[in-house]
A and B are shown apart, each in its own frame.
Chain A
Amino acid sequence: MSERQPEMHERRILGTELLWAFGVGVLIAATLSMIVFTALTMGINPPSNVERVDPKMLHLSGEFAEHNLGTSVAADGSVTARVIATQFMFVPRCIAVPQGRPVTLRFAAPDVIHGILITGTNVNTMVVPGFVAQVHTQFTRSGDLLMPCHEYCGLGHSEMWATVQVLPEGAFQPDREGRVSCAQR
């Protein structure tokens, strides 16, 4: 074997690897472009509301005090649901939301880390004490959905869930104060 042959072989091997790496680069670029494209055109982001709130004072005043929890419709028609995640329940335990309208879900925890997802939707966020977790979404189908706590929060974690009642436009009727509660079934 001559001196130069292995060098050339090695160079060919590296050339092939480089070609493969280029293909890998194209694939990464493709998947990232998808992410960037949907972020730019549809405003899709992970829930990242960096809004500080004192978990020790939540129950005293402000939007996460017991009486202000639940769904409310503001004067401009925007729908906001405020939910407390605490050991080991959500307050309120049933959340009414309209179908096909923008909804803002706001969560806070007074004690430990919780998290929520709503089955069959992309609604998903951690609820970290010290911050208001917030998800903007639209519910596409009506019906009852499950909203469990999906982060270990203590020994009662398994029994911590709420129901999300997605109401068709006609059934979503705010009362005089703009509050909407779940329909009794």
Chain B
Amino acid sequence: MPHDSMIHSNQPSAADSPFDVADEVDEAALAAVMRHVPLGAGVLAGAAVALLVLGYLLSYLLVFIPRGTVG
């Protein structure tokens, strides 16, 4: 393999449609997992974001407000 074609030759463009460039993903398997996705992701990301907002509210109520109002 010539060195100077490294970037190009084996590089599918993301613009290419799946009809042109395949990845290792099997369409049938993908269709099967898409029945569950994104339940796990929704729960995980939802829980993480909820914790974030909970932390924010607790900081507001337990640290910020007791330290005295400013304006």
Contact = CB atoms under 8 A, between A and B. Distances in A.
Nearest to B27: A1
A45 B71 contact: yes
* Majority SS at the chain B contact face: helix
Contacts of B65: 38, 42
Q: How large is the interface on B (under 10, 10 to 19, 20 to 34, 35 or more residues)?
A: 10 to 19
A140 interface: yes
B68 A121 contact: yes
Interface residues of A, number: 28
A140 B68 contact: yes
Nearest to B64: A122
B15 interface: no
B25 interface: no
Contact of B38 (A16, A30, A47, A140): A16
A-B interface, 7 closest residue pairs, ranked by CB to CB distance from nearest: A45-B71, A122-B67, A122-B70, A43-B71, A137-B70, A136-B71, A42-B69
Interface of A: 1, 9, 16, 20, 23-24, 27, 30-31, 34, 38, 42-47, 120-124, 135-140
